[in-house]
Structure 1
Amino acid sequence: MKAAERTLEPTAACGLVSASAWRGRLLLLWVHLFVCCLSLVYVARFYGYTGAVAFTQAGLPTATLVVPLLAAIAVFFALARFSFGYFVGFYLYTLVAGYAWLGVFSKFPYDRTLSLASAIASLIAFLVPVVFITSPIKQFVVLSDAAADALRGAILIFAAATIAAGTTYNFRLAGIDSIYGFRHTLEFPAPLRYAIGITSNALLPYAFASFVMSGERLKAAVALLLLLAFYPITLTKLTFFAPPWLLFLAIVARVFEPRATILLSLLLPISAGLLLVIPYELGAIPYELFIKYFSAVNFRMIAVPSIALDVYNDFFSTHQVTHFCQINLIKSLVGCTYSDPLSVLMSKNYELGNLNASLFATEGIASVGPLAAPLAAAVCGLVVSFGNRTSVGLPPKFIILSGGLLSQVFLNVPLTTTLVSNGALLSFVLWYVTPRPVFTAWSD
């Protein structure tokens, strides 16, 4: 074998990648895993009073036994090609890794061995389709370049109209620490509620990504300002942090290749939170300044989705599963044991507030229990892989930016809600009809 040939090895996606490249990526993944576990140690230190997260020296040997298994799963991301499923899959990998670590120290009395095995199996069952099903779907409907330009302008107009309608029901300039005192009072008509979720999570990121790719910075800024304008209407952290998050993704994607961008999009913010611990403990920065960042990133963005999986496992270990009746359509046809939404149900049983959760917790544990959860995860993976197929041919940077908020939504929201209420399905449609030649020209 020639020396040049020995530097290339086949990927699981049937392509070729240099051995040094995938090994370097694997090392970065392992660093990410270590940083996540270390972050959770400090989360337990600062938020142990909630009773939902803990850490003990006695449990450390057991916790470290889980890490090699998670490190082995990281090979998926070291070898596979970039896709939307890669993006979502890596975020959910981080969620399950966090749960695997936290579960060792959990104070809840359910069978954690069974639940951990179920979570790992569910993760693998989800990753196989979302990472490896990337064949394109033939475009039978394609927008002309002029129609695509008109669509982006129409999105800005529709967003402005949605914001105007939303302000008639709620407009409050509340600080980020005060939103929970008002959120329970918010009520929107169903059409407006859907319009807000779809516009903020799918339409405006799509428009922003398009404007960034075409170099239309002013219009990109308008898209971000419109996105921020949803905050006083919805009082959600996601809408508050959405503009800086998309800007952060745009900067990282400009410097690094797509897969490294995805890895660094979590590793860098988590690492920043850990680095802030040092000046805080030295007294160089006040607690209030430190905890604002650490709470938003290391606790809320990273730890809470894993905590939610722990909580759902505990609750449904002693309560009847839903058989998907939390989905409104199914509830209207067959009824449901639970009258409250799952998030409210968790709030009534745990002192953690309304706790929405990912597909692993809802379509998995809550709906069918730990034994059948991997099957549900596999089906969810097949659905998400449809997004891969509709986006083939689009520049990775465009997919990262237009799907940048959906990746966050997948951490905290059931798949069915993400598809419909938060616009993931519409994003798939938009990717499908988007003309490839103009994007190819922009990316050159």
Structure 2
Amino acid sequence: MNTNEIAIAGKTSTRVSLGVLIGFHIVACCVSLAYLSRGYGSYHIYYDPALLHVAIATIASFAILSYLFLLAPFSFGYFLGFYFYTMIVGYLWLNCFSRFEYNHWLSGVSAVGSTIAFLVPSLFVTSPVQRRFTIGEAIFQRAPTIILALGAITILIAASYSFKIVSLDEMYDFRKKINIPSPLIYCIGVTSNALLPFAFACFVERRNYWRAGLTLVLLLLFYPITLNKIAFFTPTWLLVMAVLTRLLDCRITVVVSLFVPLVVGVVLYAVLGMRDTRYLDIVNLRMIATPSNAMDIYNDFFFNHPLTSFCQVTFIKALVPCPYAGQLGEVMQEAYALGNFNASLFATEGIASVGPLLAPIPVFVCGLVIALANRFSSGLPPRFIFISGSIFPQILLNVPLTTTLLSHGAAVLFLLWYLTPRSLFASQSESPLQPSSIGGPEGRLA
């Protein structure tokens, strides 16, 4: 076989593997939700065998849309898009069994329309922008080390306000007592979610593993300060993603990053039932089912209450009348007693702001923002983009895009991608040993 035939065979093999993996993932999502309904009815997660045929038909129809993931190249939008696709699979399943009284047909169609509106720009708009301003390679070489110093300074200052080592079970009791100034909270969000993961990705690409390890240690120190699950799991998550992207195609790694944790929970439940639910609580419920469940709850709430018209965004709230004094998470807590129930852009910028009928419009605009992030990162190694941006799909499943851009540092990461000199990675992108460069569009931005 010549080189072109080998490349075509590699593309075909990757797409077949990816398609099969996504199919199993969709089935696992539905099985997980059916299991969760047995012990988490208080979360409004239900299942009725009499309606199973309706749910199967709904999910099977929506599964056709997953073909887009076989066509699109890897990008940050691909990573985030698949996580949102999983969330909508879960919502459509829950929607078939939901006991809330709202227009389920309209909300289901709206969810599908919003998914398409988001995926089209975030998957397929990946062309590079003209970079009018760049940083010299010599200067940028020092950036990761400077970020490490900033991270250490941020930790020292923040620890003077709050630092307590407690278990994940106890963290909610102590988190209420944390009192950190707002500017420092923003600094913590930007440093822990954007700057340090970016530095970690730089060190991994340069094979500077000692500094990469130091970066993970600094990231772990944010947990006793914030008492936040994402802060606790971030070092492990980054390390696992770095290993997986070394072994697998980036697109396959995206699916594996959700599929494997999900299946582990399903297997544990099949073996242990409800005798030990710690893993099920953290992964299958909190990480994967809760974003889908939030869409069901937001649809129910805003079917019977005024829409926000985007007044949940702080600067808009200062300009227009708002029917809600507190944040949306607090409003949901008062209504459903399920904790501070924040939600993704599909539920917040979409359902809460304009209702299900018009929700695809703001979701499409959010997709354009992610498409811009794709363009800012174009030309960088897929593995670098994957690792440096791997925290944000987790955050965006539960936090609005507007909040994530500012409070959690996504805008800073996008700017760093834009400024990063492409020449830094020229040798890596040409190396035949990089798994993310094998198989044509599966390993690069279009």
1:307 counterpart = 2:293? yes
Matched residue SS, 1:180: helix
Task: Tell me which amino acid in the other structure corresponds to 1:158.
Answer: L
Match of 2:23 among 17, 30, 39: 30
1:287 counterpart = 2:275? yes
- The within-5 A match list for 1:204-283 is 204-281=196-273
Query: Using a 3 Å threshold, how does the CA distance of structure 1 residues 75 and 189 change in structure 2: closer, same or farther?
Result: same
Kept in 2: contact 1:214–1:442 (CA 8 A): no
- d(CA) in 1 for partners of 2:200, 2:40: 36
Q: What's 1:317 paired with?
A: 303
Q: What's 1:427 paired with?
A: 413
TM-score (norm 1): 0.93
- d(CA) in 2 for partners of 1:237, 1:296: 9
Task: Tell me which amino acid in the other structure corresponds to 1:406.
Answer: F
- d(CA) in 2 for partners of 1:219, 1:335: 49
Task: Tell me which amino acid in the other structure corresponds to 2:217.
Answer: L
- What is the CA distance between 1:107 and its match in structure 2? 1.8
The answer for unaligned runs of 5 or more in structure 1 is 10-15
- What is the CA distance between 1:392 and its match in structure 2? 0.7
- The within-5 A match list for 1:32-431 is 32-48=25-41, 50-281=42-273, 287-288=275-276, 291-431=277-417
Query: Using a 3 Å threshold, how does the CA distance of structure 1 residues 220 and 350 change in structure 2: closer, same or farther?
Result: same
- d(CA) in 1 for partners of 2:110, 2:349: 13
- d(CA) in 2 for partners of 1:351, 1:207: 39
- d(CA) in 2 for partners of 1:411, 1:17: 32
Task: Tell me which amino acid in the other structure corresponds to 1:421.
Answer: S
- d(CA) in 2 for partners of 1:6, 1:316: 54
- d(CA) in 1 for partners of 2:340, 2:171: 13
Task: Tell me which amino acid in the other structure corresponds to 1:353.
Answer: G
- d(CA) in 2 for partners of 1:160, 1:301: 28
Query: Using a 3 Å threshold, how does the CA distance of structure 1 residues 194 and 394 change in structure 2: closer, same or farther?
Result: same
- What is the CA distance between 1:20 and its match in structure 2? 4.3
Q: What's 2:442 paired with?
A: none
Kept in 2: contact 1:305–1:357 (CA 8 A): yes
**Identity across matched positions, percent:** 46
- What is the CA distance between 1:5 and its match in structure 2? 9.1
Superimposed CA distance per residue, residues 349-370 of structure 1 (whole angstroms, 9 cap, x where no aligned partner): 0021001100000000000000
Superimposed CA distance per residue, residues 94-114 of structure 1 (whole angstroms, 9 cap, x where no aligned partner): 111110111111121111111
- What is the CA distance between 1:38 and its match in structure 2? 0.9
Q: What's 1:13 paired with?
A: none
Q: What's 2:441 paired with?
A: none
Kept in 2: contact 1:7–1:19 (CA 8 A): no
Task: Tell me which amino acid in the other structure corresponds to 2:36.
Answer: V
- d(CA) in 2 for partners of 1:57, 1:187: 48
RMSD (Å), alpha carbons:
2.0
Superimposed CA distance per residue, residues 169-219 of structure 1 (whole angstroms, 9 cap, x where no aligned partner): 211111101111122222322211110111111111101111111101111
- What is the CA distance between 1:256 and its match in structure 2? 0.5
Kept in 1: contact 2:43–2:338 (CA 8 A): no
Matched residue SS, 2:37: helix
- d(CA) in 2 for partners of 1:170, 1:70: 46
TM-score (norm 2): 0.93
Kept in 2: contact 1:22–1:78 (CA 8 A): yes
Kept in 2: contact 1:137–1:389 (CA 8 A): yes
Query: Using a 3 Å threshold, how does the CA distance of structure 1 residues 287 and 337 change in structure 2: closer, same or farther?
Result: same
Matched residue SS, 2:304: coil
Query: Using a 3 Å threshold, how does the CA distance of structure 1 residues 41 and 433 change in structure 2: closer, same or farther?
Result: same
- d(CA) in 1 for partners of 2:376, 2:300: 37
- d(CA) in 1 for partners of 2:290, 2:426: 38
Superimposed CA distance per residue, residues 269-289 of structure 1 (whole angstroms, 9 cap, x where no aligned partner): 1111112224325xxxx934x
Equivalenced residues, count: 430
Kept in 1: contact 2:137–2:424 (CA 8 A): yes
- What is the CA distance between 1:418 and its match in structure 2? 0.8
Kept in 2: contact 1:51–1:107 (CA 8 A): no
Superimposed CA distance per residue, residues 234-276 of structure 1 (whole angstroms, 9 cap, x where no aligned partner): 1110000111111111111111011111111111111111122
- d(CA) in 1 for partners of 2:26, 2:294: 19
Q: What's 1:12 paired with?
A: none
Kept in 2: contact 1:322–1:337 (CA 8 A): yes
Kept in 2: contact 1:96–1:119 (CA 8 A): yes
Task: Tell me which amino acid in the other structure corresponds to 1:226.
Answer: L
